[in-house]
């Protein structure tokens, strides 16, 4: 009898298994997702370079951080562009010439990345590939060819046929013709000029109020403000509320050889690109 009582007592002492609070778990996950979306919409977000339009500074496979607060917030700030189109910006400020920005085109397709060239009130014109701002030629200086290593994300033969070569080590490279362009505010950056193209000439245009004019650094392979929407471009200046943020720095870059196998990821990292700032030093550029 005593043994039975002891067994009953031991059973009574065992704690009951706690039930999982699935509603609480779902709420926690939901709050975490909302926090991530808020951060991406208001503070910063990652961005992937999908095309060659911003070469030589940005390569396909580069991953960037874009600050969302640099120019204030607008209808394009939320990650999924869920707000209706609205004019203006909250706590808004204009970009500077030379800033690299992400933007939403007028047709609201996927975000693009380009460089700010002209600001509201500027008269912009192109003659033979050279920019004229308010009647003054933007300085361009010929630089030595840039040798870009050829890889799966930079095959060279597709976009730059005939420019394949090898470097001193015998490795395949793409020899790109480079010009150093310097804007009136002292910002300098390299562009690729492949020779005469239809986009080398653009009739004088006064940029409307609260609009900006954007171009890619790969001048002959960029559908930007010089190109009509029918031909896949931005169709002229775009409203400043379509600017989603400013590109700040490269976090890492992949050469396009990654597979499902995690062991392939380490070998796919391009060396020397992580941490590269995309904010030009105007003081250094002016020297």
CA distance 15 to 11: 9
Q: Which of 77, 114, 222, 253 is catalytic?
A: 114
CB 115 within 8 A of CB 98: yes
Known catalytic membership, residue 53: yes
* Residue 238: closest CA among 219, 223, 249, 248: 223
Q: Which of 53, 77, 188, 225 is catalytic?
A: 53
| Residues marked as catalytic | 53, 114
């Amino acid at each position: 009898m005593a043994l039975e009582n002891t067994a009953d007592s031991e059973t009574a002492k065992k704690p009951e298994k706690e039930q999982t609070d699935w509603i609480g778990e779902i709420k926690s996950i939901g709050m975490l997702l909302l926090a991530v979306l808020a951060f991406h919409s208001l503070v910063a977000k990652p961005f992937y370079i999908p095309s060659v339009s911003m070469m030589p500074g940005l390569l396909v496979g580069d991953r960037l951080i874009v600050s969302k607060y640099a120019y204030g917030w607008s209808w394009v700030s939320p990650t999924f562009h869920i707000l209706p189109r609205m004019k203006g910006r909250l706590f808004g400020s204009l970009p500077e010439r030379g800033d690299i920005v992400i933007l939403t085109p007028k047709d609201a397709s996927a975000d693009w990345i380009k460089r700010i060239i002209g600001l509201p009130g500027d008269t912009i014109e192109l003659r033979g590939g050279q920019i004229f701002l308010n009647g003054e030629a933007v300085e361009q200086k010929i630089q030595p060819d840039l040798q870009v290593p050829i890889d799966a994300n930079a095959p060279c033969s597709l976009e730059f046929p005939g420019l394949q070569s090898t470097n001193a080590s015998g490795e395949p490279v793409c020899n790109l013709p480079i010009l150093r362009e310097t804007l009136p505010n002292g910002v300098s950056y390299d562009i690729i000029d492949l020779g005469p193209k239809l986009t080398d000439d653009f009739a004088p245009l006064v940029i409307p109020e609260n609009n900006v004019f954007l171009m890619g650094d790969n001048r002959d392979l960029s559908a930007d403000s010089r190109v009509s929407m029918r031909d896949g471009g931005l169709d002229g200046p775009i409203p400043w509320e379509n600017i989603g943020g400013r590109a700040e720095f490269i976090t890492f870059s992949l050469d396009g050889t990654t597979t499902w196998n995690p062991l392939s990821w380490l070998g796919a990292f391009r060396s020397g690109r992580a941490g590269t700032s995309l904010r030009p030093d105007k003081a250094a550029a002016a020297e």
